[in-house]
Amino acid sequence: MNISLETSLKLSQTLSPQMIQSLKLLQYSNLQLEQVIRQEMQQNPILEEVPSDEPVQEDPVQEEESREEPALAEEAAPEAPVADTPSSNDDEPAETAQSEDETDWEEYFDDGFDLGYRTTEEERVDEIYEKIPVNTASLEEHLLKQLQEKSLAPGQQAIGEFIIGNINDKGYLVVTPEDIASRFSTDVKHAEEVRHIIQNFDPQGVASLNLQECLLTQIRAKGMGSSLMAAIVSDHFELLKKYHLPEIARKLSVPVTEVQNAVHDLSKFEPSPGTLIGSGRPQVIIPDLIVNKLENGEFSITLNDGSVPIMRVSQPYLNLLKRERKKSPDVRKYLSEKLNAANWLLRSIEQRKITMIKVMTAIVDKQRTWFEKGPPNLKPLILQEIADQISMHISTVCRVTNGKYVQTPYGIFELKYFFSGGVDQDDGTEMSTSGAKDLIKEFIDNENKKRPLSDQKLVEMLQQRGIQVARRTISKYREQMNVLPARLRKEF
C-alpha cells in the first residue's frame, strides 16, 4: 500500500450561513422573532428601529421585491440543499456574490434604496391577547412563608427549610427521611416530626413520599380518618390501583356500590398538590396569524406581527460609509459586512412573511368547510398536500406550522390542528381522525355505565356508520383522549 496525494473535482451541496438563518427565522413564532430582531439591532449598528410615531412610507423598490417569489425556502430544504449561490429573484443577482469591496455603493446611494422592513397601516391589525395573569408566589415561597409563621425551634426551622427545598413541582419530597436525619445529625423521628408539620400546610399533602401517603394526609385533614375511603387507601391501595372494586368490597365486607362511591369521592382529592400553587397560570397564547371572514364570504389572512419592530438601515451609518469608502478601508469593510448582514436579515424576514401567508392561505383553501361551519367539519389533510399546492418542500411547510397559532372565528388553534389522517368510509370518502374521535367520545358519553362499551363494540358501532376502523386504532384514539378502558369505566 502506497500513500499518495490526489486532486479531484466534485460537486457538493451546502447551506450557506445566510440560508441557515432564513430557515431559523421561518420556524420562529412572532414573539421569538421579536427577540431575535432586538438582539440583532444590538449587535448590528446599521439596523435601527423606526419610531412608532413616524409615518410609514411605502418603498416602491422593496414593495416590488416583496411581490416576487424567491425560491429561498424551497432551495434550502434539508433533503436537497443547494450550493451557496445568490438568490435568483434579486434585482441585482450578483450582489450577494460580490465581495464588500466590489459593491457599487455610489450607485446604491444614488438609487436611494432603503432596506427598511416595513409594515403598512393596512397590514397592522388589532392583536388578540389573552389576559396576562398576575405574578404569584412559587410553591417554595408559599411553604416557606407558612414555615416562618409556625415559630419553630431553630433546629426544626433549618430542617423544614431543607425539606421545602427538596419538594418537586408535584409536591412530593425527593429525599428520604434518613437522608434528612443524616444531614442534620439527628434521628429520623425528629426529621419526620417536621415533615408531618409541613404535610398539613396549604396545599395539604405536600412533602409526602408517595401517592398513598399524600391521599391519606388529605383524607385525615378532612376529619375522615376512620371512613371507608381511608380504609381503602390505607389497606388496599394495590387493589385500588388495579380498580378491583369487587375484591376490595369482599375484603372489607361491604357492598361494592359503597366501595365505588368511596372511590368516586376519593377522585376529588388532589394527587399532585404542588401543582395547585404557582403553576395554575393560564397559558398566554398570542396568535401568529389571523383569519377573518369578510362580508362577501371570503377570508382575509394577516400576519399578527404588530409587536415585531419595524427596522430600517441607519442613514447616519450609510453617510459614514459613503464618506469613508475611499479613506478608511477598515471602516468601509466593517460597515459593508454589517450592511450585507442587515440586507439579508430584512429580506429573510420578508420572505418569512410571504411563506407564512402562502401556507395559511392553502390551509384555508383545503379546510374551507371548517372555516365556514366550525370545528366538526375538519377534513383529512397532510403536510404534503399543502407543499404541493404552494410548490414548496414539505420541510418548509413543517417549519411554518410547527409551534405557531392562528386566530380564527372559532378561537385560537395550533396550525398542526388542521392536519390529521383519515379513516375510510363505505362511500369511498375519508373522515378526519378528529371526527372519528368525536364520534367515539359521543358513543362513550351515552353508554350504559353499568355495561360500558368495549373497544370491539365501538368498532362495530362505527362500522354501522360506514366507518372502517381497527380495534387497535380505537384503543389508540381512546388513550389519546384520556378515556379509560371499559373495565375501569364500569359502575356497579
What is the residue-wise DSSP string for 11-60?
------HHHHHHHHHHHS-HHHHHHHHHHHHHH-TTEEEPPTTSPP---H
Look up residue 303 and give its three cell numbers: 400576519
Pair 196, 237 in one domain: yes
Q: Which of 259, 276, 293 is the last residue of a domain?
A: 276
Closest CA to 34 of 356, 405, 404, 306: 306
In the numeric block, the cell 387497535 is attached to: 472
Return the C-alpha torsion angle 283, 284, 289, 293, nearest 10: 90
Length of the chain: 492
CB 481 within 8 A of CB 435: no
> Given this model, what pLDDT does residue 162 score?
95
Residue pLDDT tens, the chain, 492 long: 678 888 888 887 666 676 777 778 888 888 888 888 888 888 888 888 877 666 555 443 344 333 433 333 343 334 433 333 333 344 443 344 344 444 444 444 444 444 444 444 444 444 444 444 444 678 999 999 999 998 888 889 999 999 999 999 999 999 999 999 999 999 999 999 999 999 999 999 999 999 999 999 999 999 999 999 999 999 999 999 988 999 999 999 999 999 999 999 999 999 999 988 865 455 678 899 999 999 898 999 999 888 788 888 888 877 777 776 666 777 778 888 888 888 888 888 888 999 999 999 999 999 999 999 888 788 888 899 999 999 998 988 998 998 899 999 999 999 988 988 767 676 666 777 877 888 898 899 999 988 899 999 998 998 888 888 888 988 988 988 888 888 888 887
CB 436 within 8 A of CB 467: yes
Pair 250, 143 in one domain: yes
Amino acid (1-letter code) at residue 452: P
Does residue 103 lie in a domain region? no
142: three-class secondary structure by DSSP: helix
> Phi-psi bin for 3: left (phi > 0), alpha (psi -120 to 50), beta?
beta
Cα gap 291→300, rounded to integer Å: 6
Range 422-453 burial, b when 16+ CB lie within 10 A, else e: bbeeeeeebbbbbbbbebbeeebeebeeeebb
> Given this model, what pLDDT does residue 270 score?
93
Domain count, the chain: 3
Pair 70, 199 in one domain: no
Q: What is the CATH number of the domain that holds 478?
A: 1.10.10.60
Pair 331, 220 in one domain: no
Cα gap 96→20, rounded to integer Å: 15
Does residue 180 lie in a domain region? yes
pTM above 0.85, yes or no: no
Amino acid (1-letter code) at residue 69: E
Domain that holds residue 34: 17-89+118-127+309-351
The β-bridge partners of 420 are: 381
Does residue 107 lie in a domain region? no
Does residue 123 lie in a domain region? yes
Pair 201, 314 in one domain: no
Does residue 98 lie in a domain region? no
Cα gap 476→482, rounded to integer Å: 10
Does residue 366 lie in a domain region? no
CA 218 from chain centre, in angstroms, equals 34
> Given this model, what pLDDT does residue 107 score?
47
CB 406 within 8 A of CB 413: yes
Cα gap 263→243, rounded to integer Å: 9
> Given this model, what pLDDT does residue 336 score?
83
Cα gap 88→72, rounded to integer Å: 9
Does residue 370 lie in a domain region? no
474: three-class secondary structure by DSSP: helix
Name residues whose C-beta falls within 8 Å of residue 259's C-beta, 6 or more positions apart in sequence: 228, 232, 245, 248, 249, 252
In the numeric block, the cell 440543499 is attached to: 81
The β-bridge partners of 425 are: 467
> Given this model, what pLDDT does residue 226 score?
92
Pair 24, 122 in one domain: yes
Pair 155, 66 in one domain: no
Look up residue 246 and give its three cell numbers: 369487587
Pair 144, 122 in one domain: no
Does residue 407 lie in a domain region? no
Pair 148, 263 in one domain: yes
> Given this model, what pLDDT does residue 58 score?
45
Q: What is the CATH number of the domain that holds 261?
A: 1.10.10.1330
Cα gap 246→456, rounded to integer Å: 24
Pair 154, 122 in one domain: no
